[in-house]
Amino acid sequence: KQGALGVGLYRSEFLFLARRTLPTEEEQVTIYRKLLNLMGGRPVTIRTFDLRPDKLASYAQLGSSTTRPFDWRIVLTSHPLQQLFREQVRAILRAATEGPARILIPLVTRSEVLDFVLETLAWAKEALVREGLDHVPNVPVGVMIEVPAAVPMVGTWAEQVDFFALGTNDLTAASMGMDRDDPIASGQLDSLHPGMLRLIHSTVSDAHQARKPVSVCGEIAADPLGALALVALEVDSLSVAVPQYATTRAALTGIKPGEIADLRPQMLRQRTARGVRALLEGKRTN
């Protein structure tokens, strides 16, 4: 209703958090179909379960001993998580008959994880064909760039994926050596740190070199100056939480990418986030 062109980040782990049990494949098919149906033909990017004890910490009943086998960071050694991931991938491919779904993998840090993801997808397609279940085999697959070590890998991974999504919440915290929920971090984590802008610039350049689009789905896109910076850095799409949509939209109204092209080199030359903000303020139209 607000005019968004799609769902840029559907945090599927909320399904788990809301009920504290794992949804089955059939339950997921029903939920994803409903979501695609509600979006009436606009693309929906379903991020696979980003389960991590730090994210679950606020849910008191889920102690880390319960959640550890489902910690996405240990996917290559966790059989329960691999099984959960297989079911989720199957569910997304099956639900995609209802509308344009996209699969997004959180926190890809190593090529081995990407290989596991792609092997699982190939396996899921074969299994669905064998079982005669309706599905869409060519659902676009993207990876989230959320740790600094992943940034220089973008060019290497580009030929294996369809798109990239920068998770600037985690990327900022990891780059600054902070825990994103640590009270000390608040006030010190500014995603407009010039080093962060260089990481984003590097990601976009390497992805575009391979003709792959980049979206940003961290809080930075909800900051009017952040949104402007991302457009100047030639990010292809922005994703924000629904309550922030109008602010981001307004921040970009009247901005023509060609007119702010000179912003990019100027921003990248700044020494401080404060300097970046001052520069962007001068270009603001709203």
Of the candidates 50, 55, 62, 123, the one whose C-alpha atom is nearest the C-alpha of residue 87 is 123
217 lines the binding site for ligand PEP (CB under 6 A): yes
d(CA 173, CA 169): 6
* CB contact at 8 A, 76 and 65: no
267: its two tokens: 């921003």
146 lines the binding site for ligand PEP (CB under 6 A): yes
d(CA 109, CA 171): 11
Query: What is the contact mask toward Mg ion in residues 128 to 147, using x (rule: CB under 5 A)?
Result: ------------------x-
- Taking the complex as a whole, the smallest distance from the CB of residue 230 to ligand PEP amounts, in Å, to 13
Applying CB under 5 A, among 71, 98, 170, 223 the residue interacting with Mg ion is 170
Which region, judged by CB under 6 A, interacts with ligand PEP, from 90-98, 114-122, 153-161, 164-172?
Answer: 164-172
* CB contact at 8 A, 5 and 81: no
Which region, judged by CB under 6 A, interacts with ligand PEP, from 168-176, 194-202, 225-233, 265-273?
Answer: 168-176
167 lines the binding site for ligand PEP (CB under 6 A): yes
d(CA 226, CA 229): 5
Run of H or E including 101: strand 101-105
Q: Give whichever of 54 and 262 is closer to ligand PEP, judged by the CB atom.
A: 54
Query: What is the contact mask toward Mg ion in residues 84 to 123, using x (rule: CB under 5 A)?
Result: ----------------------------------------
Centroid of chain to Cα 218: 8
Task: Name the site residues for ligand PEP (rule: CB under 6 A).
Answer: 9, 11, 50, 146, 167-170, 217-218
